[in-house]
Chains A and B, each alone.
Chain A
């Protein structure tokens, strides 16, 4: 494992290349927010422009981690997608959902809470979009059975998905990106983020009970429909299910120990994908590989290169100096600003381009603060760690505020609308903004207490 932490940025010279790179970068953001053209198309075109205009050369874009594509993130995503694509047809996810509804004996509030827990746990282990794609359709089905409004259920699941995803390294793309850039392992996320996510989840569920508890009504006869369901019928391929669970267990154990054994997370996931493909005995791997969300993958690839361009010309370094200027090098202030600013930014822009931009910015800031340090000593400087966690918390939890804040939101709102349950922008933010403010506030208190108050 080589540690290429040197950001090869020139001293800031505002020449024509600087302005070309800056223009492409700003135009990319504006176009993504305006949603006129698909975000992946924009990212790919902008990345290609960075190469054609010679802001970056191809070697830098494809082979230098700090300036171009972070293949660790790409292969972690691809490998997890392959594993899920192979697992999905077994029916395990329908089984879990129906089983949860049955455990709740058809009681709508209990179902809402259990589905939120299932969504949060699955989002922590899989990616959020996959999780809500699995849970939202079953939710619509269950609410039809109980003749209740599905919208509160779907909103609670969106929030639970973004909260749960914050808990682990593999739960949300921002965490994968932060882990890769700061060389943090799976257990670091478990140790630093999972505890606060558990606290947030408990408070969130209490609020769900208070807000929706009285409104959810159904009849005993309708509950009986749920009780009559036999969840075992959901399992379509028990043999493949056993193989899948075996491989998933290996991958999880691999994640727990990857830091200790010096494996990158992508290596662990890639092994899992290869092993499960082999064990599945499929003669048609094309099917599972074609189902990889290539649009998402290319969004990442494009963004990495666009950000690489502005890193190289020194824009990011300049931005990091401004950030240090604002907080006067006070890292507690930096952490607080990082949570708050990240939350607001992620509510407006996709949190993926946001974190892609902030990662090199944080590294540049660290280099300025500790000029003598390099490698892990720099990236994981004890005083820098709370800043990374603040970035993760802000970027992941900020996604809850608006319908476009995170991919999971967009997916669920799309499914809701298609089923005739359109959730308006205002109805969404009426719940999303307070949830974001509350969770961000709790996160700020956590970061303050754990990293500044108690550690003196």
Chain B
């Protein structure tokens, strides 16, 4: 390979973000209708930015499902006794929770010129799907997805 690619070369631009004070209900709609390239295809994870545009968290569909599963189910084995419709009931209960309550707060970022091996290693060891890319001012400029790393390496293997 002639060109040694860096984070900026494979990242996808991100147009949408959440604010910490938004409700889960609004967040879900935003994520469903987010831009992916030229189309509103929706995303499975979105950055949370404060009013100054700084990255303060990330919400993925896993965070949302975790928020719906009651905390006590972690402490006791009652899954066998759950009833039909429990998931839907719990979903309505958390609809008004704020994004800040359920988001992953400690979000690792990559710089624009980070080597792809660094990004790949982080995504795989932490079992993540996406890694935000920030510029020198620490503002989010894009997102690296696991599949984009995979596409980059398939080009080598072909």
Contact = CB atoms under 8 A, between A and B. Distances in A.
Interface of A: 91, 94, 98, 133-134, 136-138, 140-141, 144-145, 225, 228-230, 233-234, 236, 415, 418-420
Interface of B: 70-73, 75-78, 80-81, 83, 86, 89-90
Name B's interface SS: helix
A295 B132 CA distance: 39
A254 to B, nearest CB: 29
A241 to B, nearest CB: 14
A231 to B, nearest CB: 8
A94 B76 contact: yes
Contacts of B70: 140-141, 144, 419
30 contacts: A91-B77, A94-B77, A94-B78, A98-B78, A98-B81, A133-B75, A137-B72, A137-B73, A137-B75, A138-B72, A138-B76, A138-B78, A140-B71, A141-B70, A141-B72, A141-B73, A141-B76, A141-B81, A144-B70, A144-B86, A144-B89, A225-B83, A230-B81, A233-B80, A234-B81, A236-B77, A415-B71, A418-B71, A419-B70, A419-B72
A415 B77 contact: no
Given A137-B73, A234-B80, A234-B81, 9 more contacts: A137-B72, A137-B75, A229-B81, A230-B80, A230-B81, A234-B77, A415-B75, A419-B70, A419-B72
Contacts of B81: 98, 141, 229-230, 233-234
Given A418-B71, A419-B71, A145 B83 contact: yes
Contacts of A94: 76-78
Nearest to B90: A144
Nearest to A98: B81
A366 to B, nearest CB: 44
B52 to A, nearest CB: 30
Nearest to B89: A144
Contacts of A134: 76
Nearest to A418: B71
Nearest to B94: A420
Contacts of A140: 70-72
Contacts, number: 51
A141 B78 contact: yes
Contact of A228 (B77, B78, B83, B89): B83
Contacts of A233: 80-81
Nearest to B84: A225
A138 B76 CA distance: 7
A291 B59 CA distance: 33
Nearest to B75: A137
A420 B80 CA distance: 23
Contacts of A98: 78, 81
A327 B80 CA distance: 59
A438 B137 CA distance: 64
A154 B70 CA distance: 16
A22 B40 CA distance: 71
Closest 9 CB pairs of A and B: A137-B76, A137-B72, A137-B75, A140-B72, A233-B80, A229-B81, A418-B71, A141-B78, A419-B71
Contacts of B73: 137, 141
A13 B109 CA distance: 64
B73 to A, nearest CB: 7
A392 to B, nearest CB: 30
Nearest to B101: A420
Contacts of B80: 230, 233-234
A415 B72 CA distance: 8
Nearest to A93: B76
Nearest to B74: A137
Contacts of A415: 71-72, 75
Contacts of A230: 80-81
B96 to A, nearest CB: 11
Contact of B78 (A137, A225, A418, A419): A137
Nearest to A226: B81
A188 to B, nearest CB: 35
A420 B77 CA distance: 19
Contacts of B90: 144
Contacts of A145: 83
Most A Cβ at <10 Å: residue of B72, B73, B77: B72
Nearest to A138: B76
A138 B75 CA distance: 9
Contacts of B78: 94, 98, 137-138, 141
B78 to A, nearest CB: 5
A141 B72 CA distance: 7
A432 B126 CA distance: 45
A149 to B, nearest CB: 13
B83 to A, nearest CB: 5
Contacts of B83: 145, 225, 228
A145 B70 CA distance: 12
A225 B80 CA distance: 12
A15 to B, nearest CB: 51
A354 B48 CA distance: 48
Contacts of B75: 133, 136-137, 415
Most A Cβ at <10 Å: residue of B70, B89, B90: B70
Nearest to B77: A94
A138 B78 CA distance: 7
B20 to A, nearest CB: 18
Contacts of A225: 83
A138 B89 CA distance: 18
A432 to B, nearest CB: 22
